[in-house]
């Protein structure tokens, strides 16, 4: 009996090899490698289709640069053809990397952050990474819970794009010794990289633009002053005004909340002054949109009575009535720098591995919410031709 079993096993083994060469199988149906999007599709199917080893498929999927480009292209084509979905947990166990990037933003009600998330995700996916996204809603407890979930998911690194985060939480993250990217400032440690936004450049352009139009009474509505970015923008405004020899009365500095509601409340504070400023620079576009709404409720027209400037250049800014003059902080620039900085910390052979800072430029985009102050000679010369045209029509 034992001899017969041994002979049978030998027969089946030999014939399995023989018939498999012509596409037949012995001992049951053979898995068809042409079957697409099967739940049982494995890395072996990809290797068979691409004509490479399983190890080559694994190295390609894990982004290891030693795979020749033509082989990698064959592997990715085969992955698409057979509908293979790599097991990220298994990949993480083998490579020590999850290929997941964490992205933390302040909130999703401000259109700036969804735009940033979209750009970041597009870039990450193009480069073979997944993205774990969360918002803090400016809540320290929620932020800490979010970071904990990211650590549990074994993200490769986290970009903290909140423009201000509690020092205690920073320390907790730093102690984990994995790649982190901050905006504006971060500890001087090997695993930390920083995106430095040049607030001064854009705000200086905004103040000079208003001054060139003839404005001298220019107010500033900041964000919450516990945020580093809000303080940096307010300080940039002070410096730009001082450079032109213009004073800023305390009542012309209003602390806002970086929301439309905060912009409306801030405009009410300025409207209550004996003399209304002729120009208002806002710390973000949502505040500026709130100011536009606040002024619309009164007899003061924008830009005829008050010129308004925002900051961020969200997509909505160009569709406001009037379209909003604003300082552009490009989401694409920020997202590109954030992904690049994370990869520099994650991948030892990355060309930017030694780089610690990325500069983010800002620039003024002039639209229709700024003009000459009412009563100034340029404003009067603009009004006169319009009056004559109306008189001609009558």
Is 132 part of a structural domain of the chain? yes
Looking at residue 36, its pLDDT comes to 45
- Residue 385 belongs to some domain of the structure: no
Residues 192 and 213 in one domain: no
Q: What is the DSSP letter of 301?
A: -
CATH of the domain at 108: 3.40.50.2300
* Cβ neighbours, 10 Å, residue 274: 5
Q: Which among 81, 35, 34 is positioned nearest to 57, based on CA atoms?
A: 81
Q: What is the pLDDT of residue 171?
A: 67
The half-sphere exposure of 281 on its side-chain side, counting CA atoms within 13 A, is: 32
Looking at the domain assignment, is residue 169 inside a domain?
Answer: yes
What confidence tier does 23 reach under pLDDT thresholds 50, 70, 90? very low
Of 294, 199, 297, the residue nearest 254 (C-alpha): 294
| H-run or E-run covering 134 | strand 130-135
Are 217 and 283 members of one domain?
Answer: yes
Task: Look at residue 168 and tell me whether its pLDDT is greater than 50.
Answer: yes
Mean pLDDT of 190-208: 94
List the structure tokens of 256.
């806002």
133 and 216 share a domain? no
Q: How confident is the model at residue 17 (pLDDT cuts 50, 70, 90)?
A: very low
Cα–Cα dist 316/200, whole Å: 23
Q: Which of 158, 178, 169 is nearest to 338 (CA)?
A: 158
- What lies within 8 Å, CB to CB, of 106 at 6+ separation is 113, 135, 136, 137, 138, 161, 162, 163, 164
* Crossing angle between the packed helical segments 285-296 and 260-271, to the nearest 10 degrees: 50
Instruction: Name the token pair of 142.
Output: 């929620």
63 belongs to a structural domain: yes
Query: Which helix (H) or strand (E) is 255 found in, with range?
Result: strand 253-255
212/227: higher pLDDT: 212
Shared domain for 155 and 170, answered yes or no, is yes
Position 166 pLDDT exceeds 70: no
pLDDT above 60 for 12? no
Given a cut of 90, whether residue 89 has pLDDT beyond it is: no
Same domain, 161 and 70: no
* Domain carrying residue 278: 199-329+364-373
pLDDT tens digits along 370-394: 999 987 767 666 654 544 444 454 5
Q: What is residue 16's predicted lDDT score, i.e. its pLDDT?
A: 43
User: Has residue 355 been placed in a domain?
Assistant: yes
Q: Both 58 and 154 in a single domain?
A: no
In whole angstroms, how far apart are CA 242 and each of 47, 212, 296?
Answer: 67, 15, 31
Q: Does residue 182 sit within a domain? A: yes
- Total tally of structural domains belonging to the chain: 3
Phi, psi of 374, rounded to the nearest 5 degrees: -60, 135
Q: Indicate if 59 and 34 belong to the same structural domain.
A: yes
Task: Tell me, yes or no, whether 324 and 307 share the same domain.
Answer: yes
Q: Where are the alpha helices (DSSP H) in the chain?
A: 2-20, 43-50, 54-61, 69-82, 88-95, 112-126, 140-152, 167-174, 199-213, 228-243, 260-271, 285-296, 331-346, 377-393
| Same structural domain, 178 and 207 | no
Is the pLDDT higher at 338 or at 19?
338
- Is 50 exceeded by the pLDDT of residue 344? yes
Rounded to an integer, the average pLDDT of 205-215 is 97
pLDDT of 60-72, one tens digit each?
A: 876 666 788 888 8
Is the pLDDT at 240 greater than 60? The verdict is: yes
Tell me the pLDDT of the chain averaged across its residues: 83
Provide the token pair at 279: 């120009």
Contact 26, 16 (CB under 8 A): yes
Percentage of residues of the chain with pLDDT beyond 90: 50
pLDDT at 211 over 90: yes
User: Percentage of residues in the chain with pLDDT exceeding 70?
Assistant: 78
Domain membership of residue 70 (yes or no) is: yes
- Residue 380 forms part of a structural domain: no
Residues 133 and 185 grouped into a single domain: yes
Q: How do residues 282-341 score in pLDDT, each as one tens digit?
A: 999 999 999 999 999 999 999 999 999 999 999 999 999 999 999 999 999 999 999 999
| Mean pLDDT of the 251-278 span | 96
> Tell me, what CATH number does 38's domain have?
1.10.260.40
């Amino acid at each position: 009996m034992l001899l017969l079993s041994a002979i049978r096993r030998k027969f089946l083994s030999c014939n399995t090899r023989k018939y498999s060469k012509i596409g037949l199988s012995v001992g049951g149906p053979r898995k068809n490698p042409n079957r697409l999007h099967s739940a049982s599709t494995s890395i072996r199917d990809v290797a068979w289709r691409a004509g490479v080893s399983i190890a080559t498929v694994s190295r390609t999927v894990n982004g290891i640069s030693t795979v020749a480009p033509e082989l990698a292209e064959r592997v990715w084509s085969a992955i698409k053809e057979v509908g293979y979905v790599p097991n990220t947990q298994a990949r993480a166990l083998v490579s020590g990397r999850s290929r997941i990037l964490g992205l933390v933003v302040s909130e999703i009600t401000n259109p700036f952050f969804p735009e940033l998330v979209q750009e970041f995700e597009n870039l990450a996916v193009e480069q073979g990474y997944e993205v774990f996204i969360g918002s803090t809603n400016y809540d320290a407890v929620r932020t800490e819970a979010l970071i904990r979930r990211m650590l549990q998911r074994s993200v490769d690194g986290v970009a903290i794009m909140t423009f201000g985060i509690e020092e205690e939480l920073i320390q907790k993250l730093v102690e984990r010794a994995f790649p982190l990217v901050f905006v504006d400032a971060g500890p001087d440690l090997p695993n930390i990289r920083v995106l430095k936004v040049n607030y001064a450049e854009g705000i200086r352009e905004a103040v000079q633009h208003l001054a060139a139009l003839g404005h001298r009474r220019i107010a500033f509505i900041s964000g919450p002053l516990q945020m580093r970015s809000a303080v940096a923008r307010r300080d940039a405004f002070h410096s730009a005004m001082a450079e032109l020899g213009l004073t800023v009365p305390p009542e012309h500095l209003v602390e806002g909340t970086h929301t439309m509601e905060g912009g409306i409340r801030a405009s009410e504070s300025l409207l209550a002054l004996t003399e209304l400023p002729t120009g208002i620079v806002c710390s973000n576009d949502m505040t500026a949109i709130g100011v536009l709404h606040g002024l619309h409720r009164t007899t003061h027209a924008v830009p005829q009575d008050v010129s308004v400037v925002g900051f961020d250049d969200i997509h909505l800014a160009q569709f406001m009535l009037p379209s909003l003059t604003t300082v552009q902080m490009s989401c694409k620039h920020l997202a590109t720098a954030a992904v690049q900085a994370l990869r520099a910390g994650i991948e030892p052979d990355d060309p930017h591995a030694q780089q610690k800072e990325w500069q983010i430029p800002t620039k003024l985009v002039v639209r229709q919410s700024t003009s000459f102050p009412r009563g100034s000679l340029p404003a009067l010369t603009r009004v006169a031709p319009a009056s004559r045209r109306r008189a001609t029509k009558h």
